[in-house]
Amino acid sequence: MAQFEVILIGTGTPLPSNDRCGGSNVVLGSEAVLIDCGWGASRKLMTSGVTLDRINHLFFTHLHSDHITDLPDFLMMRWTAFGSKQPLHIYGPEGTREVVAGFRSGLNPDVRYRIDHHGDKLDPHAMDCIVHEIPATPDATFVATVGDLTVSAFEVDHEPVKPALGFRVERAGASVVFSGDTKRCDTLVRAAKGADVLVSEALHIGMMNAR
């Protein structure tokens, strides 16, 4: 029996695509963790069969738009369509608090409209975002326990984006590592040592040179 399930939700780039969404992955154990929340992630999560109210912990590798901009849709759909009653814990590098505060502030009018319309059918606490800014360390460092999943973070090389993180998620002796956006670097090599699965960024040089 598999120790965990990994679903690649979005594998696109910042460039427009008809068939790929922004960066996003989900790991399923006794609970679920979402790694990044790029454009279209919420819609793709629903087609994957993962209900949004199952996710109470979101981890950002870095703050490029294609990894974060579906957060408002994720929050609203998790709350209104799936009836979540839990706040969302958001983990990410320095700057995450600023990003989340901006997105959340932009939703305030709609939150008020929906509470006025639906009353106590919606729990406003589910729109709360509890932000944890993670230090970028050269070796994988414990960040959180989510059910039976253990999440560690490490720094990767995504210049000029700094800091940028990768994550290692473990359950019952099995592990998956997410590189985030990076070039080859020793911190990733060390963090991925012994992992069962490595979800690594790949860059199409020809595509980049054509833009």
Reported as a single tens digit per residue, the pLDDT across 22-43 is 899 999 999 999 999 999 999 9
CA atoms within 13 A on the CB side of 48: 23
pLDDT over 50 at 46, yes or no:
yes
Is the distance from CB of 166 to CB of 179 less than 8 angstroms? yes
pLDDT over 50 at 90, yes or no:
yes
- What type of residue is 42? S
Report strand pairing: 88-92 vs 129-133.
parallel
- Residue 11 binned pLDDT confidence (cut-offs 50, 70, 90): confident
- Residue 1 binned pLDDT confidence (cut-offs 50, 70, 90): very low
User: Mean pLDDT throughout 82-109?
Assistant: 97
Q: Per-residue pLDDT tens for 111-151? A: 999 999 998 899 989 999 999 999 999 999 999 999 999 99
- The helix/strand/coil state of 3 is coil
Q: Which residue has the tokens 């454009």?
A: 39
pLDDT over 50 at 19, yes or no:
yes
- pTM equals 0.94
Greatest CA span in the chain, whole angstroms?
Answer: 53
pLDDT over 80 at 204, yes or no:
no
Phi, psi of 52, rounded to the nearest 5 degrees: -65, -25
User: Mean pLDDT throughout 187-198?
Assistant: 96
d(CA 79, CA 210): 41
The pLDDT, as a whole number, for residue 210 is 67
pLDDT over 90 at 21, yes or no:
no
Report strand pairing: 174-178 vs 55-59.
unpaired
Percent pLDDT > 70 in the chain is 96
pLDDT over 80 at 207, yes or no:
no
User: Mean pLDDT throughout 73-101?
Assistant: 97
How would DSSP label each residue in 115-130? Answer: HHHHGGGS-GGGG-EE
The pLDDT, as a whole number, for residue 2 is 61
Strand partners, 55: 32
Catalytic machinery residues? 66
Mean pLDDT of the chain: 93
Percent pLDDT > 90 in the chain is 85
Strand partners, 179: none
Q: Per-residue pLDDT tens for 153-179? A: 999 999 999 999 999 999 999 999 999
